[in-house]
Amino acid sequence: MSNPLASKALNLQHLLAISDLNRPNIEFLLDLGEKYLDLSVQKGPAIKILAGKTLINLFFENSTRTEKSFELAGRRLGADVISMAIARSSVAKGETLLDTAATLNAMNPDLLVIRHGASGAPALLAQKVSCPVINAGDGTHEHPTQALLDALTLRNRLGQLDGLRVAICGDILHSRVARSNVQLLNILGCEVRLVGPTTLLPADADRWGVEVFHDMQSGLKGCDVIMMLRLQLERMAGSFVPSKREYFHFYGLDRTKLDYAKPDALVMHPGPMNRGVEISSDIADDPDVSLITRQVETGVAMRMAILHGLADANPGGVS
Ligand code: ASP
């Protein structure tokens, strides 16, 4: 399955975490993502590199962007795509993840995408199946494809990431997006900051290779990019902020806080957004500063690159 878009092989069996990737693999995936992005901008047909292959999407948690973009990415590459509706599957009857894995494996999929509420579930699945597994978000652990699409969005807009000062703001504690992004942006040479209230910052954040700030004014100073995170109420047992109104007052991104960053700073958000909680509509919808829609568009191209790269790298499956 050679393809003129892929110029050299990717050395990777699964994409479970950013730590699975070295710099050459990251550059390879971003370069391939860039090519698919150009193709989609030109509305050119993608080569059906996955024709005859089966992609199974296994989403144990809700998703709009990620699930749909993997579906679309698989279809654009010509794969047969099956998205398992977990509520209607045997999981709802009590089947364990490992039994589900064995059942799916018996159907000989070529690629498996999984999102699960438990950190580590994709890694467990990867040990039990004989095809590449892609982590589409596991608990508060990682969301590596989101970090890759964010990096591609920035690279495509700004040319390069090296030397950029990026502030990741808000509910870092519960965010798998933050964990993946911190690692990837560090590898790519960015200066990464975390900004949030003490209650929403992990206790070990100072060991993540970042600078930690508790107020937006000092945290956003001189920043090129501001990544806002959702207040992930579904992961909170107890109260982490006094009220949403007060949270917006101190940490929600509005014009006043945006002005603390560089004059041409760009704003990102992985979605779904809580308008008026972590970001004002005025900023989210401003095409001059917001990359949020572009992130979604880039997500499809990046996931096409990931599916293509992993399928190419493991033509006979994984052992
Ligand atoms: N969509 C992202 C995730 O799945 C971010 C979020 O849910 O806030 O982690």
Nearest alpha carbon to residue 122 among 21, 17, 13, 270: 17
Peptide bond into 202 cis (omega under 30): no
Instruction: Go through the chain and tell me how many residues it has.
Output: 319
What is the 271 CA–ligand 1 centroid distance (Å)? 6
Task: Give the tens place of pLDDT for each residue, 171-204.
Answer: 999 999 999 999 999 999 999 999 999 999 999 9
Express each pLDDT in 16-65 by its tens digit: 999 999 999 999 999 999 999 999 878 778 889 999 999 999 999 888 89
Structure tokens at 182: 């911190």
Pairing of β 191-195 and β 54-59: unpaired
Which of 134, 175, 231 maximizes ligand 1 atoms within 8 Å of its Cβ, making it the mutation to test the pocket? 175
- The pTM of the full predicted model, rounded to 2 decimals, is 0.95
Q: From ligand 1's centre to the CA of 177, what distance in Å?
A: 7
**Which residue, among 144, 131, 147, has the nearest Cα to 82 in the 3D structure?**
131
Tokens representing residue 179 in the block: 């964990």
Of 141, 177, 269, 279, best ligand 1 pocket probe by most atoms within 8 Å of the beta carbon: 177
Give the phi and the psi of residue 48 in degrees, each rounded to 5.
-80, 65
Q: Which atom of ligand 1 is nearest to the CA of 65?
A: 1
Ligand 1 site, CB within 6 A: 137, 143, 176-177, 230, 232, 270-271
Tell me what pLDDT residue 1 has: 40
pLDDT digits (tens, 9 = 90+) for 79-127: 999 998 776 677 767 778 888 888 889 999 999 999 999 999 999 999 9
CA-146 nearest atom, ligand 1: 2
Taking the centre of ligand 1 as the mean of its atom positions, its distance from the CA of residue 209, in whole angstroms, is: 22
Q: Which atom of ligand 1 sits closest to the CA of residue 61?
A: 4
CA gap 47, 63 in Å, rounded: 27
Whether residue 8 is predicted with pLDDT greater than 70 in this model: the reply is no
User: What local confidence, expressed as pLDDT, does residue 5 receive?
Assistant: 52
State the distance from the centre of ligand 1 to the C-alpha of 70, rounded, in angstroms: 15
Identify the pLDDT of residue 82: 94
Burial (CB count <10 Å: 0-12, 13-18, 19+), residue 93: exposed
How many A from CA of 295 to the centre of ligand 1?
A: 13
Whole-number Å distance, alpha carbon 51 to ligand 1 midpoint, is: 30
133-138 vs 111-116, strand pairing mode: parallel
Q: Return the residue whose CA atom lies nearest to atom 8 of ligand 1.
A: 230
Q: CA 141, CA 138: separation in Å to the nearest integer?
A: 6
Confidence of residue 243 (pLDDT cuts 50, 70, 90): confident
Mean pLDDT of the chain: 93
**215 Cα–ligand 1 center, Å:** 23
Q: How far is the CA of 230 from the centre of ligand 1 (A)?
A: 7
Mean pLDDT of 280-300: 98
Does the structure show a pLDDT above 60 at 7? no
Ligand 1 atom 1 nearest Cα? 271
Query: Cis link prior to 272 (omega < 30° from 0)?
Result: yes
Of all protein residues, whose CA lies closest to atom 4 belonging to ligand 1?
137
Question: How many CB atoms sit inside 10 A of residue 293's CB?
Answer: 12
